[in-house]
Amino acid sequence: MSIQEIQEEIIDEFSMFDDWMQRYEYMIELGKSLPLIDPQYKIDENSIKGCQSKVWVHAALTADKLVFTADSDAIITKGIIAILVRVFSGQHPKDIIEADTVFIDEIGLKEHLSPTRANGLVSMIKQLKMYAIAYQTQVSQ
């Protein structure tokens, strides 16, 4: 499934909820289903700078695609990174680099986060794209 198709799926899922309390609950559920990062990768160099909460992301290149695992010590933040992992994991680095994240505006996520969480969201996206840039050179075109 392409990044765009996954984003459309997420937009559809979030449109089923009437209010933001339900959407937050859904994000928390998504966070609980996040494939957990191996404890050996919960180190400072894998933490995302700019997040108020602790967030760790690990990337591995498998068959020319990036696979992300992540974790956070905060339930909402864990839900946010779970959504981003869902969008970007299993994709080619080039596609991740070129992807826009329109779904964030479509579901109204950024406007319903505190300023520090919104900054953290931007930092998470930036970090996932930085992994893609780093791995791009190792991918056969």
Q: Which residues are catalytic?
A: 51
What does 8-50 look like in DSSP terms, one character per residue?
HHHHHHHHT-SSHHHHHHHHHHHHHTSPBPPGGG-SGGGBPTT
Tokens 């998504």 found at: 30
Q: Where are the alpha helices (DSSP H) in 73-138?
A: 75-88, 93-98, 102-106, 115-136
